[in-house]
Structure 1
């Protein structure tokens, strides 16, 4: 973990006495430590645990306990960071590219003009007519979602960037295409691994033609997403499980946005269980990994296994009247282990460190098959327009491929109020052109998710012209509004700010200069206070795990990743930049908001503003890249 110099002794300056006292009371000294997360030893029944079987109830409680233990243990505090490596073992830095050695290569097209895609802002209003599934459209889909976006070079160092962002640029996320026959790619339906470095597909197996014809609508395909925990744990230690799931969310949103440009819709098939996903993506080939009793260093090639996260159905926009029978799909997938799987996964590192709590938690939150899960396609809800003129006329391809994570913010750039409101309108899960309250995720790209919104945003506004500096709150599920008011500080205002659109549930909490406190809460990083605004994503945590199942724990991080991807793209579409912040002091954030216990927890931070460009770094084309893995 990078060491950050303490700045807590600096005075907090704010024109508002109330907010100054509030911040001082939160950050009055360095004696802030982890607080114990509270949960009852006898949980109230929920749909996922209500049973006459006490063994099942005990098992559910043990899994919930493990998830909350992980969350608590991996918090950062002012005096102690979550456990991680002492320095970086560069000799064992994981290879960022998974390859399946000896698997046949299916070459994708490299003629991908970004200016042929629709205008970025238009996609939030309606989707274009769907393109047919061809080698060209599949190539464009990957090029604008999961491909390399550039190579960077300075001195003797060279590294790649991707369209989908990743914590530390470590890219634990892998992707699989499960598709029907596609002319010039495969004469049979197939499973293939996407090899980002070459922008190609590695054929893993061919499957029966009836698989797609009997289970899915015409002109649809599947995208499987998996994570290699070791890639993140190499740098971040125990907190890596959080970051891997942020990245899953970023990937889901990247896939959804690229699909939208081709007139395709996306929906997670969340009825499937962990074992179904493992079989579907051919990930049973990895040897069983036995979790040790404590963190341990050594040669553990089995730690490089891929953890199956989710599978997304990609289908033509407008084809809403169909059903996916989860039980029939699971039965069909049961035959996948008998397929002839091709290719052997490459070794990523020679030596490893196993952070045991990551693997115990991943085991606890595995999702079971839920055959009673109802698959439904919600109507496309458009997002409202408040400041359409703020967009720079970029196409989707230009925005997604030029997206970068800002390393520093200039501390000068000022955002117009309408631009700020426009960005937040695109952060709403239900869209903003209808009068229904925010709850169900029906707007792009949140509509890919299969649950009601559980993530909100506490915003630190620094430089928005026409809007007072201070602390604000965006309520993304309005069923939580009263609960949030009760859970936070009693003296918060909860008033709509000046000029705020009626359909934007944004509220003032307290006014004052928050730049210094934003930096301090985000591990003393200047970038959190030097932008136009920053935020912490606050999820309804323990009640969600109790009501819906402990397997929702990673999904809450996925939702933050989807929201973060929108912030990335919105920032670039209006001509500035953004970056995700995984390092923050968890409980001091909760203290600032007045939150107690584990009902609401901050899961991810973000900052948006004017970037500082490093002129020493040279940018090179994504393809063709260097021969040697960076």
Structure 2
């Protein structure tokens, strides 16, 4: 019997005792490779020279809708079709290798988006129709660089290439599985998966949480790049899981699909009978000498599965008319954010920001600017385009709330002009509500699994939700959505942070129930889903 989301979440909570008792050493001889390597499949190189997206990072991450604007006009550039160069940008700046460091005789390779433990268990697959060669789709005068034939591909970050899994146009399989108009109309869709063992080697059963944390930070990059290149893009969480897994040739007990991201519009997928496709079983290299299983992960995944596209449509229709999992504002003192306007904000391009982004390993205990904190919060916590989110007035999409399922809470210990203390952030109003004052560095370090980074950070930002409310409204699959909304927001926080020269940030793990107690009584009944810290890097 599948373990439901509330039970899974409860059983995977960290406490000082659980962490102390779980102090097993890691078997580095059995550490899984961070790459999926196909043995029996041909590969297709991507473009080796690209024009990266030049839009400022702070502008690219603010897009709250699939079309990247509050009001959508027919015929605008967002409907144009991606080409091979655009696909290369999308893959490279979301999952490619962007940094190489030499440490103690070892060459360490880091990718575009943050991931727990640098274990890189999330892979990207491309399902597309025929894509024009680079420069051809937008009328460029430079020679076109090849074409990409319709097919199903796996992105290989080591070689910046695509492994060919299927030849032919299979976009209709995703359209049938999702019952989603954006997927049915997209020239290409990107599917994110998690290979459980590649993360569970270190993190065990919490990997099911990490699947959405790490795919969320990656997809935050993907959305930003797509919108910077003027393509329609959104995250689709509702789809029949098995047909998508079969299309990719993966077995969910080992590797499962998490999200679908349709890119572009105006190219309807061909109809494919719902009966499915012929199975494939690609031969891949072993991840490690001895792969281990974690049944709780599989049970949590199975509890939230959807069987058909019609069921996915029905599930999406269950979205509520008011925010769930969150808490109403109180009567605490309000502090209005002071973000800089677009004209004076940092102009660091998105591609430079992604390449600069890291995970800060040490903070100086020096305060950061309130205006910069305000700007990062204002741009990052506007809500990401997902198929399941709270809908406002459909005639005025800009009135939709920024966040539907999670609440941001802050521990502030070093911000110029902002009193140290504990705050509840209300993104729709652009205000921080002060819950209590005082310096809480010791508490911040303790809550962050007794890590010094938490104590030294200028700001610790927690996303909390009420799992019981989420599951009651959206079933076990709603748990995935809440985790993902937090992670997408955190991914945008990363980009907003590293758009500023003197800021650094990183995500940390936490003691679940102690975080709830710390933010009580406001957070009573809520539980943390993500912790992001920010400060001055040392």
**Superposed pair shares fold, TM > 0.5:** yes
Report the Cα offset of residue 201 of structure 1.
0.5
Report the Cα offset of residue 207 of structure 1.
2.4
Which residue of the partner structure matches residue 142 of structure 1? 91
Report the Cα offset of residue 167 of structure 1.
0.1
Which residue of the partner structure matches residue 199 of structure 1? 160
Report the Cα offset of residue 418 of structure 1.
1.8
Q: Which shifted more, 247-256 or 79-88?
A: 79-88
Distance 1:308 1:335 in 2: 16
SS at match of 2:8: helix
Which residue of the partner structure matches residue 260 of structure 1? 227
SS at match of 1:426: helix
1:577 has 2:530 as partner = no
Which residue of the partner structure matches residue 416 of structure 1? 369
Report the Cα offset of residue 230 of structure 1.
0.5
Report the Cα offset of residue 367 of structure 1.
3.3
Distance 1:138 1:402 in 2: 21
Distance 1:308 1:82 in 2: 33
Report the Cα offset of residue 451 of structure 1.
11
1:110 has 2:48 as partner = yes
Which residue of the partner structure matches residue 276 of structure 1? 243
Distance 2:380 2:420 in 1: 20
Q: TM-score, normalised by structure 2?
A: 0.80
Which residue of the partner structure matches residue 7 of structure 1? none
Distance 2:195 2:422 in 1: 37
Equivalence map 1:225-236=2 (5 Å) = 225-236=192-203
Report the Cα offset of residue 363 of structure 1.
1.8
1:312-352 deviation digits (Å, cap 9, x = unpaired)? 11125xx7xx999xxx97x64643235xx484222111113
Q: TM-score, normalised by structure 1?
A: 0.69
Which residue of the partner structure matches residue 379 of structure 2? 426
Report the Cα offset of residue 530 of structure 1.
1.3
Report the Cα offset of residue 471 of structure 1.
0.2
Distance 1:271 1:459 in 2: 31
Which residue of the partner structure matches residue 394 of structure 1? 348
- Asked whether the equivalents of residues 590 and 596 of structure 1 are also in contact (C-alpha less than 8 Å), the reply is no
Which residue of the partner structure matches residue 488 of structure 2? 562
1:198-221 deviation digits (Å, cap 9, x = unpaired)? 111111001248849997676621
The 1:181/1:451 distance shift into structure 2, 3 A limit, reads farther
Equivalence map 1:109-258=2 (5 Å) = 109-114=47-52, 117-123=54-60, 124=62, 129-130=77-78, 132-183=81-132, 188-208=149-169, 211=172, 220-258=187-225
Which residue of the partner structure matches residue 359 of structure 2? 405
Distance 2:21 2:208 in 1: 12
Distance 2:446 2:157 in 1: 37
Which sections of structure 1, spanning at least 5 residues, go unmatched? 1-61, 290-304, 376-383, 432-437, 479-502, 613-630
Task: Please report the RMSD computed on the Cα atoms of aligned residues, expressed in angstroms.
Answer: 3.4
1:336 has 2:297 as partner = no
1:88 has 2:26 as partner = yes
Report the Cα offset of residue 587 of structure 1.
0.9
1:349 has 2:276 as partner = no
The 1:96/1:509 distance shift into structure 2, 3 A limit, reads same
The 1:374/1:605 distance shift into structure 2, 3 A limit, reads closer
Report the Cα offset of residue 85 of structure 1.
6.8
Distance 1:563 1:282 in 2: 30
Distance 1:544 1:410 in 2: 38
Aligned with 1:471 (options 422, 437, 449): 422
1:554-607 deviation digits (Å, cap 9, x = unpaired)? 2222112111101111110122111011x2111111111225998411112110
Report the Cα offset of residue 186 of structure 1.
5.4
Distance 1:335 1:570 in 2: 42
The 1:254/1:84 distance shift into structure 2, 3 A limit, reads farther
